[in-house]
Structure 1
Amino acid sequence: MQKHQYSSEKPRQILLVDDHRLLRAGMRALLDDMPGIAVVGECGDGLEALALVRRKRPDVVLLDVSLPGMNGLEVAAHLSQHHPDVRILILSMHSGPEYVARALNAGAQGYLLKDSAFDELAEALHALFAGRDYLCAAIDGEVVERFLSAGTDSISAAEVLTPRQRQILQLIAEGRGPREIASGLNVSVKTVEAHRAQLMDRLGIYNVPGLVRFAIRVGLVNPET
């Protein structure tokens, strides 16, 4: 097995974010075996990921899309705005061009399928460390580019919401009630209810099952969770 050697005197620092502990453990074992790389932290929650980035300042975040609290695309968008020096490699089971386009629009520089070979993970990291973007070899880049150029109705609909409204939409779709959402976000129940009413008005969806279906369609939550 070929190993990529990185010449930097300081190991490249990686933050690993995935809500499946077994997958994180396997991924960490692979990364620990790569010379010149140090895993400086790991977590399974989007909000915790933002806190770890602020504390650890990693070079690259390996980021799953389906995360509790705040999904990976929202995390990517936040990092792109507030920590532009941090590179983002999305890890996903979804190979559809609409998913890839959504991740790239959110600010990710790389997209890798979870069933990719170890050597491709190393290649993707090597590209991001060098300042280049990376797209999994199994993904048709030309089709993704068409999605990036044209967009989709679902993506456009989601973009009319504010970041807080998208976050509350995700939490509603995860089955959280107003009090639980308010406690987690450290806001009042009235604030949560106001955001919920506003996002319903913007989307034209006035019941929770409809919000859940919309959240699944635009990739805010995994239908299997």
Structure 2
Amino acid sequence: MIRVLIADDQAMIRSGLRLILEDEPDITVIAEAADGVEAIEQARRLRPDVCLVDIRMPRADGLEVTRALAGPAVPDPLRVVVVTTFDLDEYVYGALRGGATGFLLKDAGPALLVEAVRAAHHGDALVSPSVTVRLLRHLTAPPREPDESVRALSDREVEVVREIARGRTNLEIGAELFISLSTVKSHVSTIQTKLTLRNRTEIAVWAWANRVV
């Protein structure tokens, strides 16, 4: 059972998200929080599998909550999916760089919400398609010198990084590159170690930043 915490300052939104999630046989909502400070306190106490966090909340916003629960300095980070009405670039990058494993717009629909929760629980990342498209548009910007760490990757590892940045699952990567699922997982683990990254979202952000895609 996937245990979820919902953090949003609007009671109606929290109720709507709860209804969608608890309609699924493998998901249960264990707590709700009406502001950022409460979200951090409850998440640290209850250790949910996935935290759904709104961007704009009183006392501490969603980016602060994300950094507190999933940031680079957190010794045992939780999985955070940011759910918001606002798809401003600074929110997207702030959330992903802060450690979020997903970024979802509230108008994305129930199916994508459920998929994002399951993806986060399994260590994968899901970003709303409209947001992904805009992130990829940054690839049209003038190229910059790639980070030195690019040279640490093998050709096959670079291929895996590209597929992750395109939003492919491990199964899809295996099919695309004609390698087994276990080999894909091994490559992902090695890539994370070489680049000092913690999850697939960070790999994707790194790939976009270094124009590896």
The interval holding the TM-score normalised by the smaller chain is: 0.5 to 0.7
- Measure, in 2, the Cα distance between the counterparts of 1:29 and 1:17: 14
- 1:31 equivalent among 21, 27, 51: 21
> How far off is 1:105 after superposition?
1.3
Return the index of the structure with the highest Cα Rg.
1
- Measure, in 2, the Cα distance between the counterparts of 1:58 and 1:142: 31
- Do the aligned residues in 1 keep the contact of 2:63 with 2:91 (CA within 8 Å)? no
TM-score in terms of structure 2 length? 0.60
Which SS does the other structure have where 1:90 is aligned? Answer: strand
Larger mean CA deviation between 20-29 and 76-85 belongs to: 76-85
Amino acid at match of 2:5: L
**What percentage of aligned pairs have identical amino acids?**
35
Which SS does the other structure have where 1:14 is aligned? Answer: strand
Equivalent residue number for residue 136 of structure 2? 142
Structure 1 position 112 matched with structure 2 position 100: no
TM-score in terms of structure 1 length? 0.57
- 1:41 equivalent among 31, 45, 52: 31
Equivalent residue number for residue 54 of structure 2? 64
> How far off is 1:144 after superposition?
6.2
- Measure, in 1, the Cα distance between the counterparts of 2:26 and 2:36: 26
- Measure, in 2, the Cα distance between the counterparts of 1:83 and 1:35: 31
- Do the aligned residues in 2 keep the contact of 1:17 with 1:44 (CA within 8 Å)? yes
Equivalent residue number for residue 93 of structure 1? 85
Structure 1 residues 64, 83: closer, same or farther in 2, change over 3 A? Answer: farther
- Do the aligned residues in 2 keep the contact of 1:93 with 1:113 (CA within 8 Å)? yes
Structure 1 position 133 matched with structure 2 position 125: yes
- Measure, in 1, the Cα distance between the counterparts of 2:138 and 2:35: 27
Structure 1 residues 83, 91: closer, same or farther in 2, change over 3 A? Answer: farther
- Measure, in 1, the Cα distance between the counterparts of 2:78 and 2:140: 26
Structure 1 residues 123, 73: closer, same or farther in 2, change over 3 A? Answer: same
Taking only aligned residues, the RMSD between alpha carbons, in angstroms, comes to 2.1
